[in-house]
């Protein structure tokens, strides 16, 4: 099983989150487990080509 790091926080009654690699793509859920389920769906869409022109964060060695 692979993993993906994500940022999460609670705002009132809602949980919000996004993947560190894809900070432009935010999702939400009514509970933490609901957020995680929505994040899994979003990840499949982001990595499966369902969303065109996906922007992501990358790292470059420069020295």
pLDDT score recorded for residue 26:
98
Residue ranges of alpha helices (H) inside 1-63 are 32-47
Give the pLDDT band (50/70/90) at residue 1.
Answer: confident
What is the DSSP secondary structure assignment for residue 62, as one 8-state letter? -
For residue range 6-45, list pLDDT tens digits in order: 999 999 999 999 999 999 999 999 999 999 999 999 999 9
What span, in angstroms and rounded, lies between the C-alpha atoms of 55 and 40?
18
* Annotated domain spans of the chain: 6-47
For residue range 41-61, list pLDDT tens digits in order: 999 999 999 999 999 999 999
């Amino acid at each position: 099983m692979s993993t993906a790091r994500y940022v999460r926080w609670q705002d009132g009654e809602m949980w919000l989150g996004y993947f560190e690699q894809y900070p432009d793509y935010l999702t939400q859920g009514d509970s933490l487990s609901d957020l995680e389920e929505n994040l899994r769906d979003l990840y499949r869409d982001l990595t499966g080509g369902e969303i065109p022109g996906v922007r992501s964060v990358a790292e470059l060695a420069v020295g």
